[in-house]
Amino acid sequence: MEKKVKIPEVPEELFTERLKLRMPKPGDGKVINAAIKASVDELKPWLGFVLEDPSPADTEINTMEAHILFLKRENLRYLIFDKETDEFIGSTGFHNIEWDMPKMEIGYWISTAQSGKGYMMEAVSTLTDLALNSFGCRRVEILCDAENLKSRAVPEKLGYVLEGVLHNDELSVDGKRLTDTCIYAKWQ
């Protein structure tokens, strides 16, 4: 007999001092795609979906799939918007969710135009608090390429512990070399 896992209430929207984080909705693909196109040079080394040069239709399909996964509580992507102007900033969310533990991983990317303003720190801090204090997670992880210094700065500034570096762990996004993966974590 399979054990029934109780999933906590998951907010569809979160608010911080400057930001609104909300689940993806049909129709969001256009603004997300525009941010991807405007940020391609910064995102391309780290994110495979950028290499494919997604069309607005591709991004809309991905957004609808993310909406469904959110409703199923299998992957909780949040889109980040400026709370006052409603301008799209980036994306963050919980991946590799194990509700029975519970533990999860936080991933993120930001539009180049919004980088360097502390928005991602604010968003990831909010998700970390949600995971540890509302979801009761015993562990929250952030994994990133060892060479992605901007991505590494987020967990380092938020007090995550660098537990280790997995050497030759992944192929680079372009498939041309091996990369190392940093594993950061917070726990209760």
Model confidence over 119-161: pLDDT tens digits?
999 999 999 999 999 999 999 999 999 999 999 999 999 999 9
Model confidence over 32-82: pLDDT tens digits?
999 999 999 999 999 998 888 899 999 999 999 999 999 999 999 999 999
Angle, CA of 99, 103 and 104, to the nearest 5°: 100
Distance CA 7, CA 102 (A): 9
Residue 93 φ then ψ, to 5°: 155, 180
Percent of the chain with pLDDT strictly greater than 90? 93
DSSP secondary structure string for all residues of 122-156: HHHHHHHHIIIIIS--SEEEEEEETT-HHHHHHHH
In Å, what is the CA distance from 33 to each residue of 12, 37, 39, 60? 21, 6, 10, 8
Enter the pTM of the model: 0.95
Percent of the chain with pLDDT strictly greater than 70? 99
